[in-house]
């Protein structure tokens, strides 16, 4: 009797067991997180968006007295500013996501991925024990780590049937 697609896929996954090990054994502190871009909660939406544009980042962390009180993301710009016609002079405190989920530097990548998946987050602030932001972990950071550690495995993964095959040039 022939092998099923499931058996073939499962065997392929077993070959990638070392990637799972990296996700479980790598701490956030082991990544080269960028310095977080922060704005005070009294900053305007326009100032927050300017900071995001200037630093080519998808979010800014919002602080009060140096401690994290919120996160303001590209999604917040679209959902709360553009589509709700909030003014760019509105304070970022009014449209940020307050009290965001956070991670500590000693958390492992698997824990971070779980939080991101369950919450639907692309960015999670990394804070010290006093609640002061020390970085932002993004999905891109995790993908970059996996590509760095296992370029042959990650870059040569075949597309899944759900992905289909591209028939047009992206962006064109």
Single out the residue of 108, 101, 7, 90 nearest to residue 42, CA to CA: 90
d(CA 105, CA 127): 7
Single out the residue of 124, 4, 134, 118 nearest to residue 66, CA to CA: 134
Checking if the pLDDT of 10 tops 50, the result is no
Checking if the pLDDT of 13 tops 70, the result is no
Residue 144 belongs to domain with CATH number:
3.10.580.10
Paired tokens of 150 = 């296992």
> Domain containing 50: what range?
5-155
d(CA 6, CA 17): 17
d(CA 17, CA 61): 35
Question: Residue 170 domain-assigned?
Answer: no
Question: Residue 81 domain-assigned?
Answer: yes
Question: Residue 169 domain-assigned?
Answer: no
Question: Residue 163 domain-assigned?
Answer: no
Alpha helices in 91-172 (DSSP H): 92-95, 109-119, 139-149, 151-155
Question: Residue 172 domain-assigned?
Answer: no
Checking if the pLDDT of 164 tops 70, the result is no
Question: Residue 150 domain-assigned?
Answer: yes
Question: pLDDT confidence of 82, banded at 50, 70, 90?
Answer: confident
Paired tokens of 71 = 């996160």
Question: pLDDT confidence of 172, banded at 50, 70, 90?
Answer: very low
Mean pLDDT across the chain = 84
The CA distances from residue 137 to 43, 102, 128, in Å, are: 23, 10, 13
Query: What is the predicted pLDDT for the residue at 54?
Result: 97
Question: Residue 164 domain-assigned?
Answer: no
| Residue pair 145/154 in contact by the 8 Å Cβ criterion | no
Pairing status of strand 59-64 against strand 38-40: parallel
pTM of the model as a whole: 0.76
- The count of domains in the chain is 1
Average pLDDT value for residue range 27-37: 91
Query: What is the predicted pLDDT for the residue at 156?
Result: 72
Give percent of the chain with pLDDT exceeding 70: 75
Instruction: Say which DSSP state 111 is in.
Output: H
Backbone angles phi, psi at 104, to 5 degrees: -100, 155
Single out the residue of 101, 102, 100, 110 nearest to residue 27, CA to CA: 110
pLDDT tens, 108-159? 999 999 999 999 999 999 999 999 999 999 999 988 888 888 787 667 766 6
Query: What is the predicted pLDDT for the residue at 28?
Result: 94
């Amino acid at each position: 009797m022939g092998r099923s697609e499931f058996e073939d896929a499962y065997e392929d996954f077993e070959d990638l067991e070392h990637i799972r090990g990296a996700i479980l054994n790598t701490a956030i502190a082991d990544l080269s997180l960028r310095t977080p871009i922060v704005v005070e909660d009294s900053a305007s939406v326009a100032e927050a968006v300017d900071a995001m544009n200037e630093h080519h980042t998808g979010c800014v962390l919002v602080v009060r007295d140096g401690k994290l009180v919120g996160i303001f993301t590209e999604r917040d710009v679209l959902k709360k500013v553009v589509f709700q016609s909030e003014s760019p002079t509105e304070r970022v405190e009014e449209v940020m996501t307050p009290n965001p989920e956070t991670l500590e530097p000693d958390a492992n990548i698997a824990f971070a991925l779980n939080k991101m998946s369950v919450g639907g987050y692309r960015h999670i602030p990394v804070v010290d024990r006093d609640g002061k932001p020390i970085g932002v972990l993004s999905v891109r950071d995790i993908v970059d780590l996996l590509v760095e550690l296992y370029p042959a495995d990650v870059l040569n993964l075949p597309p899944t049937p759900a992905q289909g095959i591209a028939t047009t040039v992206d962006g064109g």
